[in-house]
Amino acid sequence: MALEETLRAVLAQAGTAPATLTRGFLTGLRAALDDLPAGPGTAELAADLAALLAVPAAERPVAVTSTPLRDDLRDLAERMAPGSTTPEQDAGALWTAVHLDALRLSRREADLVRRAAEEAAVRSRARLGRPGAAVTLPGPKDERLIPSLKVDGRVVAPGLAVSTAGAPTATGPVPAEMAAFAAMVPVLAGLDPALHHCLQALEFSGLRGLAEPAVRTGYVGHLNSRLAEVAARRRHSGPWLESVVRLHEALCSVVHLPPAPEDSWWGEWRAACNDALSDAALDSGAGTVKFPPGRYRAADDLTRHDIAVHYPDRPGQVLACVRAWSSVHGVETPGRVVYAS
C-alpha cells in the first residue's frame, strides 16, 4: 500500500490513538512549512498535506459495551472528575478516560484507581491487552499509560504505552526529555478533553481547552515550530538556549485545571523538562534560568502575566511554572505561573 493510502486509512479511524497521533504530526508539519522559506517542492508538499488533512473523518463504529463495566467505570471517573462523563460514553471511552485521569493523580492514588478499574474489568470478564498490544510512543522508559481492553472479544480501547524503542537520544540539539514529551503531548491532547494550554503567544491572558480542534491544531503547529527552532540552532549557543526556553514554555503550558501535582505522571514530566532546561543553561554557559518558589508571594519579580485559578485547597500556592525566568546574554525574560487564588 502506498504511503498516501496508508495515511488516509489511518486518518479515517476517527477517535483512535493512531489517527490522533498521525493527524497531530501532519498538522504540525503543515504549520511548520508556513514558517519556512519557499523552496523546491515546498508548495506541493503543503498542498498534499492539506488534502490529506481534509479527508472527512469516518463515522466511528459503536463498540461492544458491558453495562456493569460501563457503570463501574463511570462511577470511578465521576469520583475523580465530577461531571466529566456523558451517557453516550461506552466502556472503551470510559476506560480510556479513567486512565487519563489517573495520570494527573499522585502515583499512589493513580495505582489505586488503576487497580479498581482492572478489578471492574475482571468482574465483567473483560480482558486487558498485553503490554505490547497498545499504541506506543517513544520515551525514556517502558510504561503502559492505558492498557488495551477487550469486551466480548472485541477491542474497545486500543490502549497507549511508552517504549524506549525509538526514544530520542541525548546527542541531538533538542534535549531528549523535551523531545520525548513533545511527541506525547499532541497525542494526549487529542485524547484528554480536560487538557488546556496557556501558551502566551496564542492565548495572552488565560487558558484554552485543547478539546477544541482549532485550538489543538494551533497549539500543535506552534509546538512543532519551536521544536524545529531548537533543531536549527547550534547546540550550547545563546540562540540555542533561547529556543530551548521557548520549547520548555510550549510544553509546560499544557495543564489541567487545577494543574496536576508534582508527584503525578504529568508533574514528573514537568520536573523532567525543568531539569532539562537547567542542564541546557548550565551546559551552554550563555545564561541562567530560575523557577519560581512554591509560595506565590515569594515569586517577587520573577514572573509576569500570571494566571490565577480558584483552588481553595491550596490558596497562594504556585501550581505550575509554565515559563521559567531566563537571562541569556544579559537579556531577561520573566517567568509565568499558574497559582491558586
Place of cell 481547552: 209
**What is the model's pLDDT at position 57?**
44
Give me the domain span that covers residue 243. Answer: 176-340
Q: Hey, which bits of the chain come out as E strands?
A: 127-128, 135-138, 143-146, 149-151, 154-157, 160-163, 196-197, 208-209, 254-255, 287-290, 307-309, 318-323, 325-328, 331-333, 336-340
Phi-psi region of 266 (alpha: psi -120 to 50; beta: other; left: phi over 0): alpha
> pLDDT tens, 18-58?
666 677 667 767 666 665 666 777 777 777 777 766 644 43
Q: Read off the pLDDT band of 119 (50, 70, 90).
A: very high
32 Cβ neighbours under 8 A, 6+ residues apart = 221, 224, 225, 228
Query: Could you tell me if 46 and 156 lie in one domain?
Result: no
In a domain, 59, yes or no: no
In a domain, 217, yes or no: yes
Query: Could you tell me if 123 and 188 lie in one domain?
Result: no
Query: Could you tell me if 267 and 200 lie in one domain?
Result: yes
Query: Could you tell me if 223 and 186 lie in one domain?
Result: yes
**What is the model's pLDDT at position 163?**
86
In a domain, 283, yes or no: yes
Query: Could you tell me if 318 and 287 lie in one domain?
Result: yes
Kindly tell me if the per-residue pLDDT of 66 is higher than 70: no
Query: Could you tell me if 147 and 251 lie in one domain?
Result: no
Burial letters 289-303, b for 16+ CB under 10 A, else e: bbbbeeebeebeebb
Question: What are the contacts of 75-79 at 24+ separation with CB within 8 A?
Answer: 76/113, 76/116, 76/117, 76/120, 77/101
Query: Could you tell me if 124 and 208 lie in one domain?
Result: no
Q: Last residue of a domain, which of 163, 191, 222?
A: 163
What's phi and psi for 309, nearest 5 deg? Answer: -125, 145
Q: Measured on CA atoms in the order 275, 276, 281, 285, is the torsion positive or negative?
A: positive
Query: Could you tell me if 92 and 37 lie in one domain?
Result: no
Q: Measured on CA atoms in the order 30, 179, 199, 213, is the torsion positive or negative?
A: positive
Place of cell 503547529: 221
**CA dist 82 → 56, 85, 191 (Å):** 33, 8, 18
Find out whether 289 and 278 touch, Cβ atoms under 8 Å: yes
What's phi and psi for 62, nearest 5 deg? Answer: -75, 125
In a domain, 150, yes or no: yes
Find out whether 100 and 266 touch, Cβ atoms under 8 Å: no
> pLDDT tens, 135-191?
788 888 889 999 999 988 888 898 998 888 766 666 689 999 999 999 999 999 999
Pick the closest to residue 323 from 262, 277, 259 (CA basis): 277
Query: Could you tell me if 131 and 269 lie in one domain?
Result: no
Residue 219, amino acid? Y
Kindly tell me if the per-residue pLDDT of 202 is higher than 80: yes
**What is the model's pLDDT at position 169?**
64
Q: Please count the structural domains in the chain.
A: 3
Q: Using N-to-C axis directions, what is the helix angle for 17-34 and 176-191, rounded to 10°?
A: 120
Q: Last residue of a domain, which of 163, 190, 215?
A: 163
**What is the model's pLDDT at position 1?**
46
In a domain, 234, yes or no: yes
Q: Read off the pLDDT band of 64 (50, 70, 90).
A: very low
Query: Could you tell me if 23 and 79 lie in one domain?
Result: no
Question: What is the signed CA dihedral for 289, 251, 260, 273, rounded to 10 degrees?
Answer: -50
| pLDDT, greater one: 14 or 100 | 100
In a domain, 168, yes or no: no
In a domain, 321, yes or no: yes
Q: Read off the pLDDT band of 14 (50, 70, 90).
A: low
Query: Could you tell me if 204 and 314 lie in one domain?
Result: yes
CA 118 – CA 103 distance, rounded (Å): 16
Query: Could you tell me if 198 and 334 lie in one domain?
Result: yes
In a domain, 62, yes or no: no
DSSP 229-259: HHHTSPTTSHHHHHHHHHHHHHHHTEE-SSP
Q: Last residue of a domain, which of 131, 163, 195?
A: 163
Burial of 56 (0-12, 13-18, 19+ CB in 10 A): exposed
**CA dist 9 → 18, 58, 129 (Å):** 10, 10, 23
